[in-house]
């Protein structure tokens, strides 16, 4: 009998399509019958960061060739809608009274071709009474110029309202022998998915709206689309084709997407929209954007006893998901992997005249890790100890039952010291330290830096469970319906492996159905590294129940007791124990059940809680001290995601995460000028990492299964990003620390590194 498929390196079922014919994305839906004759929507966007709209003149645009209609928010009768996170903040989906960031949509142009719509943009004249632009977080906090007057302040959420104690001030550290302070910038970044946002909308003769979206959560788009279009949610059908990357930014529905149904109804024709790359850079939600103040104190022997963290979160110009990431994701994870007896964490979310911030790979957890890991580094410098030894001294000891931190977060299982030991050995930490010493002793122009991070993150905490349905077809093949949404992770392969493990049906005979709310009405989507431990867990459980159903059918057909029926997974057939010669295949059972609804089982499977992946990273860089140029020359990652389903998929996720994390540490940053104009609005100005800037990543395997779900798996989609960023940043600082440099804010560009060296000298 063949062994289990789980835990084996199985090639991705998805790849042949993507490597040959290619995926089918929203912009490829040219043969969709419902979209024949669709018009194109183009949005005129604000060129002012902050200002009251005094007039909008669309008369010249309306008369241009190919223009069918031009709509303002007032033309469409748009009403003010409140933020879900602070109802005092309200806006219309097309700005009608005020604009709050460069790129905010103000006017919608409907044209016969996309090019005609682009040509008409400049013909729309919008006059503004320009207001001061608030770009700096601390200036926005103190300013009397308000983005939303009804909020009474630009502070739109402060975690002190949660009833936290206020122990700010130096008195908190009175018993500490050593205290170190830092001000860190976890800079604003753009998600940059290869596929920019796109959508299409068509109304059926039955009055039902069908909308195609590039989204991570089709089911989650139904309610806002229904509300915007004034219909019952049952009258909205969302379909998601292939998605070319999301990284968290495609979780929610944006104004440009929500308005398509409204516009399609007004013009009586299906409409489609796709943003340009430049529009995506200013319109698609940004990530990170957190200013951090940390104070860390303890004993001269390296023991940390006190940690204080104030995270000031930039919400951007709308009170969106980014507003709550700091209080509800950064704060609970602020203690990281360390047994610090006294921790205080306060978060403050502030609106500014910039692109709204949303969830971005890791969503609040990378920020928490970056803060505590930088704090450990500056504490190590202060006490004169190796940064690794300071970390080791303060790690939470191994635990295989729940552990609750001082900040109040309960972790499932953890073995942080083992992950640290494994990564140090695999990276040859001692060898690199010897090479670093030799370079310093010789006064070489190129110096070596070694950075270490140890992290824990929270995954699978979004939603209490996930839907799954497994249906056997007449030919014995299986269809899996899942409420999660693949956009590169390998769901088709993983879910087929899980179903195969239970049913014995070959994975090439198992197909995945997702992203269609008529076919899969219940689903929480893909975010927060939840897919395997909730969506996969549901498939695993539902497939097992389907086997039980099949045994009942087989027992009836074989005229035997159900308890005597066994499944031979190698042959994919059911027989009475001890008599394998007389058997029924999956296909025969499906045909037998065809008249009574088919051989199918569906359910929503709940899990008991979130899981807490952990690990350690070692990054090595080379810094040219004469120019400040940084080269990332080695990276070793030990990421413990519990029970591993497919090592190949695991490694792919880690590689991608490390690339994105290193990119933030080294290159990426969304920047604005003092007037709020974006100066990184395309990939010529925004430093986007490529394989040429990255070393090969050494992956160290470690498995500590979680008891939270049937599979024992934890999330892996974001771990690489969380561990890599502080390790790479620390490596850069370490390379020039012998000059007296204690900190360099990200991104650690050549200019910043060179300036830090000169300042220290």
Residue the block writes with tokens 């930014």: 249
Closest CA to 192 of 669, 749, 650, 572: 669
Closest CA to 554 of 579, 533, 537: 579
Q: Which CATH architecture has domain 461-606?
A: 2-Layer Sandwich (3.30)
Give the Cα separation of 656 and 669 in Å (integer).
Answer: 18
Q: What is the pLDDT of residue 740?
A: 97
Q: How many CB atoms lie within 10 A of CB 428?
A: 16
Helix (H) or strand (E) holding 615: strand 614-624
H-type helices in 98-217, by residue range?
114-120, 137-142
602 contact partners, CB below 8 Å, separation of at least 6: 467, 468, 469, 470, 481, 542
Using the 8-state DSSP alphabet, how is residue 327 labeled? Answer: I
Give the Cα separation of 365 and 455 in Å (integer).
Answer: 9
Q: How many CB atoms lie within 10 A of CB 224?
A: 18
40 contact partners, CB below 8 Å, separation of at least 6: 110, 111, 112, 113, 114, 116, 117, 271, 272, 273
The answer to whether residues 336 and 452 touch, using CB atoms and an 8 Å cutoff, is no
The answer to whether residues 397 and 414 touch, using CB atoms and an 8 Å cutoff, is no
Q: How many CB atoms lie within 10 A of CB 238?
A: 23
The answer to whether residues 338 and 395 touch, using CB atoms and an 8 Å cutoff, is yes
Q: How far is CA 425 from CA 421, 546, 618, in A?
A: 6, 46, 10
Q: How far is CA 411 from CA 359, 400, 429, 455, 609, in A?
A: 22, 10, 28, 12, 10
Q: 706 in helix, strand or coil?
A: coil
Q: What is the pLDDT of residue 621?
A: 98
Using the 8-state DSSP alphabet, how is residue 504 labeled? Answer: -
Using the 8-state DSSP alphabet, how is residue 627 labeled? Answer: T
Q: Which CATH architecture has domain 287-459+610-760?
A: 2-Layer Sandwich (3.30)
The answer to whether residues 527 and 219 touch, using CB atoms and an 8 Å cutoff, is no
Q: How many CB atoms lie within 10 A of CB 444?
A: 13
Rounded average pLDDT per 10-residue block, the chain, 761 residues: 88 95 94 95 98 98 98 98 97 98 98 98 98 98 98 95 73 96 98 97 98 98 98 98 96 97 98 98 98 98 97 98 94 97 96 98 96 98 98 98 96 98 98 98 98 97 93 98 96 98 98 98 96 97 98 97 96 95 97 96 95 98 98 98 97 97 98 98 93 96 96 96 98 98 98 97 86
Domain ranges of the chain: 26-131+194-245+250-283, 287-459+610-760, 461-606
Closest CA to 526 of 494, 502, 478: 494
Tens of pLDDT, residues 704-730? 999 999 999 999 999 999 999 999 999
Q: What is the pLDDT of residue 166?
A: 67
Angle at 532 between CA 529 and CA 537, to 5 degrees: 135
Give the Cα separation of 373 and 430 in Å (integer).
Answer: 20
Closest CA to 549 of 537, 535, 534, 562: 562
Q: What is the pLDDT of residue 163?
A: 78
The answer to whether residues 450 and 731 touch, using CB atoms and an 8 Å cutoff, is yes
Q: Which two tokens stand for residue 442?
A: 């010789």
Q: Give me the numbers of helices (H) and strands (E) for the chain, helices first please.
A: 19, 30
Cα dihedral sign for 580, 586, 591, 596?
A: positive
Q: What is the pLDDT of residue 168?
A: 65
Residue the block writes with tokens 């969709």: 32
Q: What is the pLDDT of residue 161?
A: 80
Q: How many CB atoms lie within 10 A of CB 171?
A: 8
Q: What is the pLDDT of residue 74?
A: 98
Q: Specify the CATH number for 26-131+194-245+250-283; select among 3.30.450.20, 3.40.50.300, 3.30.70.260, 3.90.1170.50.
A: 3.90.1170.50
On the question of a common fold for 287-459+610-760 and 461-606, the answer reads yes
Q: What is the pTM of this model?
A: 0.97
Q: Phi, psi (5° rounding) for residue 655?
A: -60, -45
């Amino acid at each position: 009998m063949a062994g289990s498929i789980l835990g084996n390196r199985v090639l991705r079922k998805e790849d042949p399509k993507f490597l040959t014919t290619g995926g089918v994305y929203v912009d490829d839906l040219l043969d969709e019958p419902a979209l024949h004759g669709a018009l194109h929507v183009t949005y005129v966007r604000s060129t002012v960061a902050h200002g009251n709209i005094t007039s909008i003149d669309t008369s010249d645009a309306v008369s241009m060739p190919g223009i069918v209609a031009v709509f303002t928010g007032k033309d469409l009768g748009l009403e003010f809608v409140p933020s879900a996170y602070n109802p005092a903040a309200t806006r219309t989906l097309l700005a009608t009274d005020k604009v709050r960031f460069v790129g905010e949509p103000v006017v919608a142009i409907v044209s016969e071709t996309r090019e005609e719509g682009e040509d008409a943009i400049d013909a729309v004249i919008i006059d503004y009474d320009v207001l001061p632009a608030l770009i700096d977080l601390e200036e926005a906090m103190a300013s009397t110029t308000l983005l939303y007057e009804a909020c009474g302040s630009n502070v739109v959420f402060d975690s002190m309202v949660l009833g936290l104690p206020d122990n700010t001030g130096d008195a908190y550290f009175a018993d500490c022998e050593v205290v170190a302070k830092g001000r860190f910038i976890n800079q604003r970044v753009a998600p940059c998915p290869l596929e920019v946002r796109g959508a299409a909308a068509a109304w059926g003769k039955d009055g039902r709206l069908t909308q195609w979206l590039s989204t991570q959560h089709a089911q989650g788009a139904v309610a806002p689309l229904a509300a915007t279009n004034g219909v019952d949610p049952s009258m909205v059908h969302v379909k998601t084709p292939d998605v070319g990357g999301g990284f968290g930014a495609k979780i929610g529905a944006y104004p440009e997407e929500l308005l398509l149904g409204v516009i399609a109804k007004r013009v009586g024709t299906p409409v489609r929209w796709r943003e340009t790359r430049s529009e995506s850079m200013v319109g698609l939600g940004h990530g990170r954007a957190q200013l951090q103040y940390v104070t860390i104190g303890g004993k001269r022997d390296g023991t940390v006893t006190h940690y204080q963290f104030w995270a000031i979160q930039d919400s951007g110009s709308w009170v969106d998901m980014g507003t709550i990431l700091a209080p509800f994701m950064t704060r609970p994870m602020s203690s990281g992997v360390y047994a610090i007896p006294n921790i205080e964490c306060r978060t403050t979310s502030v609106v500014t005249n910039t692109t709204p911030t949303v969830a971005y790979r890791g969503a609040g957890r990378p920020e928490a890790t970056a803060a505590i890991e930088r704090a450990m580094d500056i504490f190590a410098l202060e006490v004169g100890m190796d940064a690794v030894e300071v970390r080791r001294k303060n790690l939470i000891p191994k635990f295989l039952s729940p552990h609750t931190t001082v900040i109040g977060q309960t972790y499932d299982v953890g073995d942080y010291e083992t992950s640290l030991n494994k990564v140090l050995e695999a990276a040859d930490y001692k060898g690199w330290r010897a090479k670093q010493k030799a370079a310093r002793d010789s006064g070489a122009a190129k110096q070596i830096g070694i950075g270490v991070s140890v992290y824990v993150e929270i995954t699978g905490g979004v939603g209490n469970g996930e839907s799954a349905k497994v249906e056997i077809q007449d030919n014995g093949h299986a269809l899996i319906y899942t409420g999660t949404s693949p956009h590169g992770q390998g769901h088709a392969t993983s879910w087929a492996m899980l179903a195969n493990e239970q049913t014995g049906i070959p994975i090439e005979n198992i197909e995945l159905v997702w992203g269609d709310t008529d076919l899969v009405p219940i689903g929480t989507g893909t975010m927060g590294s939840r897919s395997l431990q909730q969506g996969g867990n549901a498939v695993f459980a539902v497939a097992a129940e389907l086997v039980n159903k099949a045994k009942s059918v087989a027992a009836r057909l074989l005229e035997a007791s159900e308890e005597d029926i066994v499944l031979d997974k190698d042959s994919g057939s059911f027989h009475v124990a001890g008599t394998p010669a007389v058997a029924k295949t999956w296909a025969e059972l499906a045909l037998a059940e065809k008249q009574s609804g088919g051989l199918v089982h569906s359910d929503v499977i709940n899990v008991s809680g979130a899981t807490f992946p952990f690990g350690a990273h070692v990054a090595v860089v080379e810094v040219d001290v004469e120019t400040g140029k940084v080269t990332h020359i080695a990276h070793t990652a030990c990421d413990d995601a519990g029970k591993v389903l497919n090592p190949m998929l695991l490694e792919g996720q880690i590689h991608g995460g490390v690339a994105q994390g290193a990119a933030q540490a080294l290159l990426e940053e969304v920047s604005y000028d003092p007037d709020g104009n974006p100066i990184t609005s395309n990939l010529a100005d925004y430093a986007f990492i490529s394989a040429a800037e990255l070393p090969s990543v050494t992956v160290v395997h470690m498995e500590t299964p979680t008891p939270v779900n049937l599979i024992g798996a934890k999330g892996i989609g974001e771990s690489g990003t969380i561990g890599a960023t502080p390790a790479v940043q620390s490596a850069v600082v370490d390379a020039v620390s012998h000059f007296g440099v204690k900190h360099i804010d990200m991104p650690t560009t050549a200019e910043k590194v060179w300036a830090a060296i000169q300042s220290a000298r």
